[in-house]
A and B are shown apart, each in its own frame.
Chain A
Amino acid sequence: MNEANIDVLTDEQIGFQLILHSGNARSKVLEALRQSRQGDEARAAALLKEAEEDLNRAHHIHFQMIQREASDEKIEFSLILMHAEDHLMSTLTMKELVKELIEWGKQRL
């Protein structure tokens, strides 16, 4: 997926893009934990790296929104946008926790 330019997207599509990239990251983070649990640390590390790339895509969209607001251009508030923010933030939390859990799992072996 290329990096999206929010100027060509509707407000609703911006929300969907945020959920898409955070959602892809979320799935990969959880899969990384499963892979680590099954002993495939290389696969787990690769999935976490991919998840971080997905999160970067989400951040790139988010950053453009913040810039838009900073230049006094009003961002239309909607439930879907709030939901998208929720997805992004919860996935960030999940990623940090999963990284710790994977390390913890390795130490207990």
Chain B
Amino acid sequence: MGVKKILLACSSGMSTSILVTKMQQYVKSIGDEAEIWAVGQDQAKAEMAKADVVLIGPQMSFLKSELQKEADKYDVKVDVIDMVAYGMADGKKVYEQALRLMGENQ
């Protein structure tokens, strides 16, 4: 697999933008390569075709099945960010969750 592409989405893309920075810091620290970006909920569908995996904030979990239906067209997995990882703004844990979803167990 080439550069991993991870899309984060939350209602306005704000909290996940902070998470993106934390994840990128972790990715850099382990010498990995990944493209990670955040969008608000209205853009999630438009952006998901470019991603390998989509992670959404807890405030969007009610949209998961709707988003997964769209993501199925591109064979992309959608999941809600782990609550503990989200609540602690833990970039490492969220990145590891993304890798698991992509089937790349570290």
Which residues of chain A have a CB within 8 Å of any CB of chain B? Answer: 1, 4, 9, 12-13, 15-17, 19-20, 22-24, 26-28, 30-31, 34, 79-80, 83, 87
Contacts and interface: CB of A to CB of B under 8 A. Distances in A.
Interface of B, secondary structure class, is: helix
Interface residues of B, number: 18
A65 to B, nearest CB: 15
Quick one: which of B11, B12, B58, B83 has the most chain A CB within 10 A? Answer: B58
A54 to B, nearest CB: 9
Interface of B: 10-12, 14-15, 18, 57-62, 83-84, 86-89
Majority secondary structure, A binding face? helix
15 contacts: A13-B87, A13-B89, A19-B58, A19-B59, A20-B83, A20-B87, A22-B59, A23-B11, A23-B61, A24-B83, A26-B59, A27-B59, A27-B60, A28-B62, A79-B14
A1 B83 contact: yes
Nearest to A23: B59
B86 to A, nearest CB: 5
